[in-house]
Chain A
Amino acid sequence: MTVLLVVLGAALGASARLLVSRRIAGERATLLVNVSGSLLVGLFAGLSPRGYALLGTGFCGAFTTYSTFAVEAVQLPRPRAARYVALSVGLCLAAAAAGLGLAAWAV
Chain B
Amino acid sequence: MTDPGVPPRPIPLPALLLVVAVGGGLGALVRYGAVVALPVRPGSLPVATLLVNVSGAFALGVLVGLRPHARWLRPFVGTGVLGGFTTFSALALEADHLLAQAPAVGVLYVALSLVLGLGAAVAGLRVAAR
User: How far, in angstroms, from A13 to B107 measured CA to CA in the complex?
Assistant: 28
- A side interface size, CB within 8 A: 50
User: Which chain B residues in 12-61 approach chain A with CB under 8 Å?
Assistant: 16-17, 20-29, 31-32, 35, 52-53, 56-57, 59-61
Q: Is the CB of A60 within 8 A of B89?
A: yes
Distance to closest chain B CB from A58 (angstroms): 6
Select which of A11, A37, A75, A89 is within 8 A of B89 by beta carbon.
Answer: A37
Q: Across the interface, do B84 and A8 meet the contact criterion of CB distance under 8 Å?
A: no
Count of inter-chain pairs, beta carbons less than 8 A: 175
Chain B, interface size category, equals 35 or more
Identify the A interface with B (CB < 8 A).
Answer: 3, 6-15, 17-19, 21, 34, 37-38, 40-42, 45, 53, 56-58, 60-71, 73-75, 85, 88-89, 92-93, 95-97, 100
The 9 closest A-B pairs by CB, nearest first: A14-B24, A10-B28, A70-B57, A66-B86, A41-B89, A64-B88, A11-B21, A70-B121, A67-B60
